[in-house]
Chains A and B, each alone.
Chain A
């Protein structure tokens, strides 16, 4: 594998849907090091910004530039976990195998890698269970296993615990920390301040499609630079 696909640079990126601006001229550089939390209220544009970065949406203005020009290689080296996991109608193991097959991993190596990934998220005992009958938390861990098997350089997470109870959410957070420890760059959208603190190193605060503030996590929570960010934190429950 060649040099890193990072930094990811957004130049004046805008996105509008049916004439409604959702993201307005965002310029950012995402580097390999600190785990990045995209923080903001519902409707601030967090999900859309992540999809623009991940390449699921094309910006209506500006440019999204990775340091890797080859789009297939780029796709292969990043992964995304969505708020609602999408599971194929087959076993948990087969869901991971599918991702490996799409990524071009030789057939002989897939099973071992998939089982290792399931083991990493604590789902090895459910490998043969149909994925769609797993619980919400198990499905989200399976989505993480599917990403883990691909060893991505960058992992995008869009509110991965928003639909889960606190116990399941903690298990998800543990896996996300393991990704971080393994050297994967984490970019996570959330509106949960506690989770932002537990998993993030820096915060990008988004409001109405604009980046209001970007700061190291402790600084952001102690001394938010903008009135908007301070108001948002007051409104949220910081201990959740």
Chain B
């Protein structure tokens, strides 16, 4: 109990350095989710609407990619961005940019696969009506995204949860550099290994509180909107 109280106290008197860690964490994870959403929702919608050879294989692959180990994604992005790698010239390794890329890759399959599932259910309801109106597949995909926007909130939140919680990918491509690429999860890992359990715990509380607040806000908005629009 002493450690928890101490952790909370340390967090409440957050110094600038700690604030920086929290803000960077949010920047990285929200950016990654934004990118993954912009790509993942259309991808999921097209998979829900289009019928093509090999569709089932693609869906199985996409579902499997939801379970990608963060360290493996980190390693792949590391290889791509390392000085000798194909994208080495960009000089992104050990920057927040690299962390955003890694988390986007990690989160994209989650958002796309969950969106595909939700939109396929919606498509079953809409298909005949939209085809009767003469709506083309691409147009139908975006109509579905807009119409199922409240159910898609869940897919995006699942992606955000994954991004905010993972350590492996940001550790490898970011390097946990103090003041540059240190985020909450990597800081927790570091403080734990250094033996500063109170600070690690305190950071853990902040992380959980943020995730909880975002989810609660999204749920409230979703419910209000559903009451309004049916």
A residues lining the B interface (CB < 8 Å): 51, 54, 56, 72, 75-76, 79-80, 82, 86, 88-90, 98-99, 102-103, 130-133, 146
Q: Verify A54–B230 contact, CB threshold 8 A.
A: no
* Given A76-B134, A102-B139, also A86-B228 (CB < 8 A): no
* Complex: chain A residue closest to B140, CB-CB: A102
* Given A72-B134, A75-B134, also A130-B230 (CB < 8 A): yes
Instruction: Select B133's contact among A72, A89, A102, A131, beta carbons within 8 Å.
Output: A102
Shortest beta-carbon distance from B97 to chain A in Å: 37
Q: Which of B128-158 contact A (CB under 8 A)?
A: 128-129, 131-135, 139, 143, 146-149
Contacts of B126 in A (CB 8 A): 86, 88
* Given A56-B128, A82-B129, A102-B139, also A89-B229 (CB < 8 A): yes
Q: How far is the CA of A82 from the CA of B128 in the complex (A)?
A: 9
Shortest beta-carbon distance from B50 to chain A in Å: 17
Shortest beta-carbon distance from B56 to chain A in Å: 18
Shortest beta-carbon distance from A173 to chain B in Å: 21
Q: Which of B101-139 contact A (CB under 8 A)?
A: 125-126, 128-129, 131-135, 139
Q: Verify B132–A130 contact, CB threshold 8 A.
A: no
Contacts of A90 in B (CB 8 A): 146-147, 229
Q: Verify A56–B132 contact, CB threshold 8 A.
A: yes
Q: Verify A86–B230 contact, CB threshold 8 A.
A: no
* Given A72-B134, A102-B134, also A86-B229 (CB < 8 A): no
* Complex: chain B residue closest to A88, CB-CB: B147
Interface of chain A: mostly helix, strand, loop or mixed? helix
Shortest beta-carbon distance from B129 to chain A in Å: 4
User: Which 7 A/B pairs are nearest by Cβ-Cβ distance?
Assistant: A132-B230, A86-B129, A75-B134, A133-B230, A89-B147, A130-B229, A80-B132
Shortest beta-carbon distance from B205 to chain A in Å: 38
Contacts of A80 in B (CB 8 A): 128, 132
Interface residues contributed by chain B, number (CB under 8 Å): 18
Q: Which of B205-230 contact A (CB under 8 A)?
A: 228-230
Q: How far is the CA of A56 from the CA of B229 in the complex (A)?
A: 28
Q: Verify A99–B133 contact, CB threshold 8 A.
A: yes
* Given A86-B126, A88-B143, A89-B147, also A132-B132 (CB < 8 A): no
Q: How far is the CA of A82 from the CA of B131 in the complex (A)?
A: 12
Q: 13 extra interchain contacts, Cβ-Cβ under 8 A, other than A86-B126, A86-B128? A: A79-B132, A80-B132, A88-B126, A88-B147, A89-B148, A89-B149, A90-B147, A99-B133, A102-B133, A102-B135, A103-B134, A130-B228, A146-B133
Q: How far is the CA of A103 from the CA of B85 in the complex (A)?
A: 50
Shortest beta-carbon distance from A133 to chain B in Å: 4
Contacts of A98 in B (CB 8 A): 133, 143
Shortest beta-carbon distance from A114 to chain B in Å: 14
Contacts of A131 in B (CB 8 A): 230
Shortest beta-carbon distance from A97 to chain B in Å: 12
* Given A86-B125, A88-B147, also A56-B230 (CB < 8 A): no
* Complex: chain A residue closest to B125, CB-CB: A86
* Complex: chain A residue closest to B135, CB-CB: A102
Instruction: Select B229's contact among A72, A103, A132, beta carbons within 8 Å.
Output: A132
Shortest beta-carbon distance from A186 to chain B in Å: 16
Q: How far is the CA of A227 from the CA of B178 in the complex (A)?
A: 89
Most central of B139, B143, B148 by chain A CB within 10 Å:
B143
Q: How far is the CA of A133 from the CA of B143 in the complex (A)?
A: 19
Residue pairs across A and B with Cβ atoms less than 8 A apart, 24 shown, are: A51-B128, A56-B128, A72-B134, A86-B126, A86-B128, A86-B129, A88-B126, A88-B147, A89-B147, A89-B148, A89-B149, A89-B229, A89-B230, A90-B147, A98-B133, A99-B133, A102-B133, A102-B139, A103-B134, A130-B228, A132-B229, A132-B230, A133-B229, A133-B230
